[in-house]
Amino acid sequence: MQPQSFNDIKTGRRYVTIEMVHDTCNTYSINPNFILFGHRPVILPENVELDVEENVEVNRVVKINHVYPPLQTQVHTEILVATQDTSDNPTFSLINYKAAANYLTGYQSQEFYQKLAPVSLPRQLVGNPKQGIVLQIEGDSMAPKFQHGDYVAAVLLDRSEWPSIRDLDCYVVVSATHGVQFKRIKNRIPKYGFIRCRSDNRRHQSYNIEEENLLQLFRFVLHISPDASNPDDTLYNKVESIEERVEDQRDMYEQLMAQMQQMQKQLQQPTTH
């Protein structure tokens, strides 16, 4: 078990999985019947196998795989990860740049998710999804709204929901051909069997992904950004420049008026011969 996983279990951010129980019993010779039913002994004798039922002292021991069969993972199997913290808020898996690069090779593994940092988000904002991720945006393809380094929270859709997704909504798209991408989608699955991925930044071309190459779709629910800059810096800079020029002209006008008043006073003074 990873140290991070143990700490998450202690703080209530992650649940104990059957795989963890199975590995712990095998590693430390712990009686699975004690964990499951409270039946002693706690520690099994060294010469006793977990699936030996004839031994008198441990005749109630059952093979743990018979009680909880091992998980079978296939191409589109949904991996169950921690979904709630101690306050019943959903827990999302943080996918940063590095994790996104390795996502295709690890997303079907429970161990992959155990190594990811958990992010607890208020259910009032994101609902109560079965599985969600927080993806770090890389590049400028979705600028100016979504900047490089921003984060987006998204919830996993079931494949049965794919034909009914709305056009031009934002999704995290996981595909065998393009990896992990954050795009706006034009849904062409019902008629033509593909989706069209569009970028907000028009310098990036749109592209199609066939349904057979789609692995996962996550619906965007929340934007998290440390950037507080104006979304249209060009317009902001132009307005600011005009305001500065107006201020400069006002100052020049006031200085000119002061000089004219001074000259007028001098002209009004009587001359002496």
Query: Are 100 and 182 in a shared domain?
Result: yes
pLDDT tens across the length of the chain (273 residues): 555 566 666 655 566 666 677 777 777 778 777 777 667 777 776 644 444 444 444 344 344 344 434 434 344 445 555 455 556 888 999 999 999 999 999 888 888 888 999 999 998 999 888 899 999 999 999 998 999 999 999 999 999 999 999 999 999 999 999 999 999 999 999 999 999 999 999 899 999 999 999 999 999 999 999 887 766 666 666 776 787 788 778 888 888 888 888 888 888 877 665
10-46 burial, b at 16+ Cβ within 10 Å, e below that, comes to eeebbeebeebbbeebeeeebbbbbeeeeeeeeebee
Q: Give domain status of residue 273, yes or no.
A: no
Number of structural domains the chain divides into? 3
Are 127 and 205 found together in one domain?
A: yes
Predicted local distance difference test score (pLDDT) of residue 74: 43
Residue 155 lies in a domain: yes
**189 & 209 share domain:** yes
Beginning with the edge strand found earlier in the chain, give each strand of the sheet holding 118-120 in spatial order: 118-120, 91-95, 132-136, 151-156, 214-224, 170-175, 179-188, 194-198, 207-210
Instruction: Clarify whether residues 190 and 124 are in a common domain.
Output: yes
Task: Assess if residue 268 is contained within a domain.
Answer: no
In this structure, the answer to whether residues 49 and 98 fall within a common structural domain is no
Residue 247, domain extent? 230-259
Q: pLDDT of 117-166, one tens digit each?
A: 999 999 899 988 889 999 999 999 999 899 999 999 999 999 999 999 99
Whether residues 45 and 130 fall in one domain:
no
Taking phi over 0 as left and psi of -120 to 50 as alpha, with beta for the rest, 230 belongs to: beta
Does residue 36 sit within a domain?
yes
Q: Is 178 exposed, middle or buried (0-12, 13-18, 19+ CB in 10 A)?
A: middle
Question: First CA to last CA across the chain, in angstroms?
Answer: 107
Q: Are residues 174 and 242 in the same domain?
A: no
